[in-house]
Amino acid sequence: MESIEDYILRITRLANRNKELNEQLHGLVSRYEILQRQNEKYLDLLSEHSFEEIEDTIKTGTKQKLKKFKMASVLFANVHGFDELSSRMDAQKLIDTLDELYRDFDKIARKYNIIKIKTIGDSFLFAAGMREENRTNPIDIVRAALEMQHAAQKRIINGDKEAFWKVSIGIHTGPVFGRPTGKKSSPYTISGESANVATRIGRASKPGDINISVMTFELVKEFFEFEPTGEIPVKYNGSIEMHKVLGILPEFRSEDDPLDVNRAFRVKYGLIQFLDIQEELLDIMEKKLPSTLYYHNIKHTIDVITEAELIGWAEGLKEEDILLLKLAALFHDSGHTISYKDHEEHGAQIARDILTSYGYPRDQIDTVCRLIMATKFPPSPKDKLEEVICDSDLDYLGRSDFIPVSNLLYKELKENNMIGSIDQWNMLQLNFIRKHQYFTETARNLREVNKRSQINRLKKLLKESIDKS
């Protein structure tokens, strides 16, 4: 039988052992927490950079400057025919033809503002949306791919029925990381899964085919003809659906050249491109507009764009008209970045310069500038488009927030020494709104009833001011 002393000794040993185990447990928990924090840092790093970049940083001990592109389109082109070259008597001529084809690829890439990333033997990697970030790069790179295939297919020599060199092309759109090279011809190397996916699709494509990922397909499906070609497994991405590009849709194709596009294509393309132009101009306005512009600011610009589109569609205008109206609304007050006086003329010149850089035709640019000038006060529109832009610019007259918006305009004019007292301003507004009439039926239906209530509110404000004095 265990004595009391032995029992106490055993309990003491167990208590000490328990204390040691608790200390070990606390140590393990602390180490776990440290490892967990390190793991979170590594996961954050992996979410921002590719495995190749991290590996390069570890090897060199330095982190190279990287740029993340949220949406770029990567094209992988693989040239077929080398296996059969040795059996041809005219091998040297075929090599010369191949050199010409490579020059064609470079020329096409420059045409669509696409950069060559690298050449690996008989394979090429191109990317769109990196020289200039834009939303239209998936469309541009598919058009480039069609022209590259055509360039390969037309190089038939020695009476052959078809071209000796064949090209398979894969395209994928997604985020990429670009590392500057300092070279003009190939300004970036890229890393990330988008390049891997494009390569995988290109290698899985048959010679003469252009296949694109479902991501690219969703961004270009309104412009081109396709047929589904199934799915392929891609490392770390599971299976990816592919679509074979057949050509430009008939309604967007030039009658003279199946690879060229017509005006309808350019208008639809322009509606997407508008978002890039808008982003560029609003950034300029945010930086350069005077702080005293309480009314003619970015909010007013966006309001006019929205209203011009709404009234334009309601008035039954064509898609091209809507595009030109939105562009005019976007630029109509941009001249305030130069001068408060004659800002319409300055805005028209800004529009002409920027739209020319985006490749807009002269007639469309002229129309946009004419619409900008139509917003000069007092409004005197000459056609339906001018009526829409004028009604959009003075939309606030019939809105429920007329008084606070009107007060912002008064504050702006006051700081520019262009108006007297608030009572004088309210009287000017009252006289103007009494005479003003919206030009389009849509604006009259939307705003005329509310405009009459604004007249009563102005009368009340003026009466209250008289009573106080």
The CATH number of residue 274's host domain is 1.10.3210.10
Same domain, 135 and 218: yes
Same domain, 164 and 44: no
- Write down the pLDDT at residue 175: 93
- Write down the pLDDT at residue 464: 79
In a domain, 413, yes or no: yes
Rg, the chain, Cα only? 33
Question: 5: which 2 tokens?
Answer: 């002393």
Mean pLDDT in the chain?
A: 87
In a domain, 203, yes or no: yes
Same domain, 218 and 304: no
- Write down the pLDDT at residue 436: 87
Phi and psi at residue 236, to the nearest 5°: 70, 0
pLDDT of 21 > 70? The answer is no
- Write down the pLDDT at residue 351: 98
In a domain, 423, yes or no: yes
Stretch 324-336: mean pLDDT? 97
Stretch 332-356: mean pLDDT? 96
Same domain, 254 and 271: no
pLDDT per residue as tens digits for the range 384-401:
999 999 999 999 888 888
> CA torsion 265→270→272→273, rounded to 10°?
130
CATH number assigned to the domain comprising residue 225: 3.30.70.1230
Stretch 368-388: mean pLDDT? 96
H helices of 49-90, where? 51-60, 82-85
- Write down the pLDDT at residue 150: 96
Q: Which of 17-21, 126-130, 174-178, 355-359 has the lowest mean pLDDT?
A: 17-21
Last residue of a domain, one of 208, 240, 261: 261
In a domain, 396, yes or no: yes
- Write down the pLDDT at residue 328: 98
Tell me if 351 sits within 8 A of 327, measured CB to CB. Answer: yes
Phi and psi at residue 417, to the nearest 5°: 55, 45
Same domain, 127 and 243: yes
Same domain, 124 and 243: yes
Last residue of a domain, one of 230, 261, 292: 261
Residues, the chain? 469
Stretch 182-208: mean pLDDT? 89
pLDDT of 340 > 70? The answer is yes
Binned at pLDDT 50, 70 and 90, residue 457 comes out as: confident
Phi and psi at residue 290, to the nearest 5°: -60, 150
- Write down the pLDDT at residue 10: 57
Question: Total domain count for the chain?
Answer: 3
pLDDT of 234 > 80? The answer is no
Same domain, 241 and 287: no
- Comparing 89 with 256, which gets the higher pLDDT? 256
Q: What is the pTM of this model?
A: 0.81
Same domain, 248 and 282: no
Binned at pLDDT 50, 70 and 90, residue 447 comes out as: confident
H helices of 232-361, where? 263-288, 298-314, 319-331, 343-357
- Write down the pLDDT at residue 51: 46
Range of the domain at 441: 266-468
Stretch 11-25: mean pLDDT? 61
In a domain, 166, yes or no: yes
In a domain, 53, yes or no: no
In a domain, 26, yes or no: yes
- Comparing 34 with 305, which gets the higher pLDDT? 305
Task: Provide the 3-class DSSP secondary structure of residue 262.
Answer: coil
pLDDT of 37 > 60? The answer is no
Last residue of a domain, one of 234, 261, 288: 261
Stretch 145-149: mean pLDDT? 97
Stretch 373-381: mean pLDDT? 94
Same domain, 19 and 97: no
In a domain, 62, yes or no: no
Q: Could you give the CA distance from residue 324 to residue 310 in angstroms, rounded to a whole number?
A: 13
Which among 303, 332, 305 has a CA at the least distance from the CA of 399? Answer: 303
With 0-12 / 13-18 / 19 or more C-beta atoms within 10 angstroms meaning exposed / middle / buried, residue 158 is: exposed
| Alpha-carbon distances, residue 226 vs 143, 229, 292, 336 (angstroms) | 13, 9, 53, 46
Cβ contacts of 32 within 8 Å, gap of 6 or more: none
Q: Which of 49-58, 282-291, 416-425 has the lowest mean pLDDT?
A: 49-58
Query: Which residues make beta-bridge pairs with 240?
Result: 232
Cβ contacts of 164 within 8 Å, gap of 6 or more: 81, 84, 88, 94, 97, 155, 156, 157
Same domain, 3 and 132: no
Q: Could you give the CA distance from residue 166 to residue 169 in angstroms, rounded to a whole number?
A: 10
Same domain, 170 and 257: yes
Same domain, 21 and 85: no
